[in-house]
Chains A and B, each alone.
Chain A
Amino acid sequence: MIYNIPYIIAACIVVIGLYTLVFKRNLIKIVIGLTLIESGVNLFLISLSYKENSIAPIFTNAFSDNMVMPTPQALTLTSIVIGVAITALMLSIVIMIYKRYKTLDSRKLTRLKE
């Protein structure tokens, strides 16, 4: 059980992100919550692929051929890049919302702008 602590930390990060999504009203904080969920998933993928006493799967001057699994790392790379793209898009939408409504409180954004 105690050896599974990276999985537990990943689950905690995901749940903290969900809490942020549900309870925070500030749009920037909601974006941070989504990013937290994404980080938790990335951490989970990476810790799933870890093998004891092993090195990164790169053969240049490698001193052992006991290597961690490469596919989860490649998928995490994909996930990180897509996360960056989505975060940029979300933040620009938040900026435009702020320019238009002069507030970041999601409770005050229910009214249509006339």
Chain B
Amino acid sequence: MKTKKIIFISSIALLLVILLLGLSNSRTFGKPNSEMDNYFIKNGQKETGANNIVTSVVFDYRGFDTLGEASVLFAAVLGVAVLFDLKITKQKIEQKKMSRIVRTIAKLVFFFTALFGLLTIIKGHLTPGGGFQGGAIIASGFALLTVSFGYIVIGKHREQFDLLESIGLLLFIALAFVGIKIAFFNNFLAQPMAYGPNPGFLISGGLIPLMNIAVGAEVLAALTIIIVLMSKADFIK
């Protein structure tokens, strides 16, 4: 037992030394020598019409990655649901509720959280944000409601969230297929925009805002379902 531990610790220390040697002799922090990404910065606005280059990389140049990502999230929700989705008695869950102060404040905060999340989704191609981030923000609002009001307030809308998640993913895939005549994930609605800073126009970016909305719906429903199912886990025998 003792020798085993020594071998493990020394191998981990060796790995740390190798990593540190390799990293300290690699390129200097803050001075990347790759020119690949200059292409996206120089041509991103011209080709996709979106101001946020990260969003245009996520939903246009590397759309396949995002498709896999959304599918992985869907599959994870499916796995959690398979583990937790058991029938439980109703009066057992209704008694878990926090005090009136917490509930009132939670209602108030949820409104602003949802508003901020919606803004993050809709302006995802202009400002920092996008479907994933905004969906996560709205889902955190639902988590607040679940914690303060108990399982049932979100849990009774479980089917609607299931529907929203499926519709979001299907809409995203459908939007990817719209431009199939030229290529998968072809952004055929994009209006070319001149290179350089601009104040930001809501109608720009072609399919990217629509994809943001689809992915935002999927992510908010997926994370909310995970939270709801996990909050129910306490009552499973």
Provide the residues of chain B in CB contact with A60, threshold 8 Å.
51-52, 126-127, 197-200
For residues 1 through 60 of chain A, which have their beta carbon under 8 Å from a beta carbon of chain B? Answer: 1, 3-8, 10-12, 14-15, 18-19, 22-23, 47-52, 56-60
Interface size counted on chain B using CB atoms at 8 A: 62
Residues of A close to B73: CB separation below 8 A: 81-82, 84-85
Q: Which residues of B contact A15 (CB under 8 A)?
A: 12, 15-16, 19
CB contacts (< 8 Å) of B199 on chain A: these are 60-61
Distance of A77 Cα from B40 Cα, bound (Å) = 17
Q: Which residues A79-94 have CB closer than 8 A to chain B?
A: 80-82, 84-86, 88-89, 91-93
B54 at the A/B interface (Cβ < 8 Å)?
yes
Which residues in window 149-189 of B have CB below 8 A to A? none
Contact A22 B12 (CB under 8 A): yes
Q: Does B101 contact A (CB under 8 A)?
A: no
With A7-B26, A8-B24, A58-B51 as contacts: A19 and B12 at CB distance below 8 Å: yes
Q: How far is the CB of A77 from chain B (nearest CB, A)?
A: 6
Q: Are A71 and B62 in contact (CB under 8 A)?
A: yes
The residues in B between 71 and 126 inclusive whose CB is less than 8 angstroms from any CB of A are 72-73, 75-77, 79-80, 83-84, 126
Give me the interface of B with A, judged by CB distance under 8 Å: 5, 8, 12, 15-16, 19-20, 23-24, 26, 28-32, 34, 36-37, 40-41, 44-45, 51-54, 56-58, 62, 65-66, 68-69, 72-73, 75-77, 79-80, 83-84, 126-128, 130, 132, 136, 196-200, 219, 223, 226, 229-230, 233, 236-237
- Among all A-B residue pairs, the 5 with the closest Cβ atoms: A85-B76, A69-B37, A57-B53, A60-B200, A7-B23
Given A23-B8, A82-B72, A95-B233, 20 new contacts (CB under 8 A): A7-B23, A15-B12, A22-B8, A23-B5, A50-B29, A56-B54, A57-B52, A59-B197, A60-B197, A63-B197, A69-B37, A71-B37, A77-B132, A78-B65, A81-B73, A82-B73, A85-B72, A92-B229, A92-B233, A99-B237
| 13 examples of A-B residue contacts, CB within 8 angstroms | A18-B12, A50-B29, A57-B44, A58-B53, A58-B127, A59-B51, A59-B52, A59-B197, A60-B52, A71-B37, A85-B72, A89-B76, A92-B233
Measured CB to CB, the residues of A under 8 A from B are 1, 3-8, 10-12, 14-15, 18-19, 22-23, 47-52, 56-63, 65, 67, 69-71, 73-75, 77-78, 80-82, 84-86, 88-89, 91-93, 95-96, 99
